Amino acid sequence: SLPIWWAFFRVGAHDVSGMSREAAWRIHTAFGTLTLIFGLAHGIAALVNVEDIFGNIWWVLGLVGLVLMWLGVFASAVQA
């Protein structure tokens, strides 16, 4: 709930740096995209190099989280 609460503030981190809210969202989107790409590369490397990836619940949850993040990106891309 904290990110939603933060989103409704009129004052944000973009005001501290003196940029517009739109520019801050562009930077946020760029960093998020890079994070998803690195996460995808990491997940592919784990699937290729680890024999029993589904034997550890934390690895399975990481994979599920990555898939959910990509579904969120896909939904927002289709919406736009």
Instruction: Give mean pLDDT, residues 14-19.
Output: 76
Q: What is the pLDDT of residue 73?
A: 81
Alpha-carbon distance of 29 to 41, in angstroms, equals: 18
Q: What is the pLDDT of residue 2?
A: 67
List, for residues 29-69, the tens digit of each pLDDT value: 888 889 889 988 988 888 888 788 788 888 888 888 888 88
pLDDT band at 1 (very low <50, low <70, confident <90, very high): low
> Residue 15 corresponds to which tokens in the numbers above?
């005001």
Alpha helices in 1-56 (DSSP H): 2-7, 13-17, 21-49
Shortest CA distance to 7 belongs to which of 21, 27, 19, 26? 21
